[in-house]
Chain A
Amino acid sequence: SQTIHQWPATLVQPVGSPLSLECTVEGTSNPNLYWYRQAAGRGLQLLFYSVGIGQISSEVPQNLSASRPQDRQFILSSKKLLLSDSGFYLCAWNDRGESAFGSGTRLTVV
């Protein structure tokens, strides 16, 4: 079965610092991978998705970027964090009705 590993679980970063959140998936090849963000008390917003190595689609223009250096690895980054980047970030896998989520990263920008 598919498993998604996401780390770290929590992160407190100062404004202007860089960010790197990593997600890896096991149990499948060539997965479609997604990054979602959930602001406090809000719904899930799709940030990026990737259908393959080096292929990234951005849904919302913002201060973040994503990369897919390997088939089962999906990275969310920022060069300089803003206060508004605070939130709960979830990595996800989906394929023809099957889906799985990482355990999430709670990011607080101070």
Chain B
Amino acid sequence: AQKVTQAQTEISVVEKEDVTLDCVYETRDTTYYLFWYKQPPSGELVFLIRRNSFDEQNEISGRYSWNFQKSTSSFNFTITASQVVDSAVYFCALTTNNAGNMLTFGGGTRLMVKP
């Protein structure tokens, strides 16, 4: 069985602060993929990043950065200099190559960035 845990249900920061969203996963498979999605108030899921289990290199994209650590089964997401437009629910997700290839989502973290 696979599981994704986002322990932070809600985070509130003031604009320009840095914020890290935590994600811890569980799987018995050696090949798997991790995702982060953003869900703005409109509801659609916006893809942010995909990382496979063999690539532990951290990634930076503008104000976004991701820290993948297999040793702790974590895939944390940091927003630098947060902006009001970053306010949304963020989901971490996991999938493997097994039958079904289902995406398992964490419970989501609601980020509120105040001006």
Contact = CB atoms under 8 A, between A and B. Distances in A.
Which of A42, A44, A49, A94 has the most chain B CB within a 10 Å cutoff?
A44
A97 B103 contact: no
Interface string B60-103: 00000000000000000000000000000001000101011111
A100 B45 CA distance: 9
A97 B95 contact: yes
Given A90-B45, A104-B43, A106-B43, A99 B103 contact: yes
A74 interface: no
Given A88-B43, A97-B52, A104-B44, A57 B100 contact: yes
Contacts of B44: 101, 103-104
Q: Interface residues of B: mostly helix, strand, loop or mixed?
A: loop
A110 interface: no
Interface stretch (B11-19, B20-28, B104-112): B104-112
B102 A99 contact: no
Contacts of B52: 97
Contacts of B97: 96
Contacts of B107: 42-43
Interface of B: 33, 35, 37, 43-45, 47, 50, 52, 91, 95, 97, 99-108
Given A32-B101, A46-B104, A97-B33, 7 more contacts: A42-B107, A42-B108, A57-B100, A94-B95, A98-B50, A101-B47, A106-B43
28 contacts: A32-B101, A32-B102, A34-B102, A34-B103, A36-B105, A42-B107, A43-B106, A43-B107, A43-B108, A44-B91, A44-B105, A46-B102, A46-B104, A51-B100, A90-B45, A94-B95, A94-B101, A94-B103, A95-B101, A97-B50, A99-B50, A99-B95, A99-B103, A101-B44, A101-B47, A104-B43, A104-B44, A104-B45
